[in-house]
């Protein structure tokens, strides 16, 4: 029996990309699966495009909380009903075997981080392996120092929500938060085969790494994150 998959997507003014991404996702899902979309008050035609798709597996919620990707993703996750949760950005493209591979890997792991191809707006490959480009590897301290966890490449079992939710209000990266906690309390799989094309087009809602951050700000982020992780671990 297949576990039910909830794809959780945060959208904001994604009219240029949303149809392409949803088509790549829906073609891989079973009839009982769902796509949970939390929209951060888009002002373009994003929601109209989603409605026009006409797929009953898509469930749309308008973000009623704080603005921004972190809180938008938190709302999407809160509405998910599936046993397996896959995070998705609005502007990438899934490779055809992503959903099935994730289902298989999550049978034995709490969280899966998959590799991806980094491509430009025309689909030209910039980095054939994000893992190689980023120096991705597991381990709490390594990922506190240099985060490997990118939300669009993450999937996890529902059980981890008991300790990763709610997100602390003032952290700035939900994927980093989830990854660090599961490193400490669960089992993680880093899957080296790229399962999506990660588009870099200059309009992305989030960035990889911390470009433009000075040393002091990076240090503050890490101390702040470590404090929140320790507080959550000790409280559960």
- 150-173 pLDDT, tens digit per residue, is 999 999 999 999 999 999 988 989
Give the residue-averaged pLDDT of 178-206. Answer: 89
> How many angstroms separate the Cα of 126 from the Cα of each of 129, 196, 208?
9, 13, 14
Rg (CA), the chain: 17
pLDDT digits (tens, 9 = 90+) for 13-69: 999 999 999 999 999 999 999 999 999 999 999 999 999 999 999 999 998 877 888
In DSSP terms, 64 is beta-bridged to: none
Using CA atoms, how far apart are residues 126 and 128, in angstroms rounded to an integer? 7
**185: Cα separation from own chain's centroid:** 19
DSSP codes of every residue in 66-92? SSSHHHHHHHHHHH---SEEEEE-SS-
Closest CA to 60 of 82, 75, 43: 75
Residue 207 has pLDDT above 70, yes or no: no
pLDDT at 122 over 60: yes
In this predicted structure, what is the pLDDT of residue 66? 72
d(CA 57, CA 34): 5
Residue 211 has pLDDT above 70, yes or no: no
How buried is 52 (Cβ within 10 angstroms: 0-12 exposed, 13-18 middle, 19+ buried)? exposed
Q: CB–CB of 182/164 below 8 Å? A: yes
């Amino acid at each position: 029996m297949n576990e039910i998959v909830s794809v959780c997507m945060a959208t904001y003014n994604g009219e240029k990309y949303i149809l392409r991404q949803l088509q790549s996702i829906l073609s891989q899902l079973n009839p009982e699966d769902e796509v949970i979309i939390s929209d951060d008050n888009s002002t373009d035609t994003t929601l109209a495009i989603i409605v026009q798709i006409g797929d009953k597996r898509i469930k749309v919620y308008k973000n009623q909380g704080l603005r921004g990707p972190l809180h938008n993703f938190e709302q999407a996750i809160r509405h998910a009903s599936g046993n397996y949760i896959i995070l998705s950005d609005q502007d990438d493209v899934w490779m055809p075997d992503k959903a099935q591979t994730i289902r298989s890997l999550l049978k034995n792991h709490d969280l899966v981080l998959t590799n991806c191809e980094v491509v430009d707006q025309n689909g030209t490959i910039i980095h054939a392996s994000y893992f190689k480009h980023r120096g991705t590897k597991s381990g709490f301290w390594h990922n506190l120092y240099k985060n490997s966890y990118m939300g669009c490449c993450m999937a996890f079992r529902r059980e981890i929500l008991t300790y990763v939710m709610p997100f602390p209000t003032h952290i700035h990266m939900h994927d980093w938060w989830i990854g660090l906690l599961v490193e400490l309390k669960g089992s993680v799989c880093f899957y080296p085969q790229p399962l999506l094309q990660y588009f870099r087009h200059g309009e992305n809602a989030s960035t990889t790494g911390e470009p433009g951050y000075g040393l002091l700000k990076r240090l503050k982020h890490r101390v702040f994150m470590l404090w929140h992780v320790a507080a959550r671990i000790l409280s559960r």
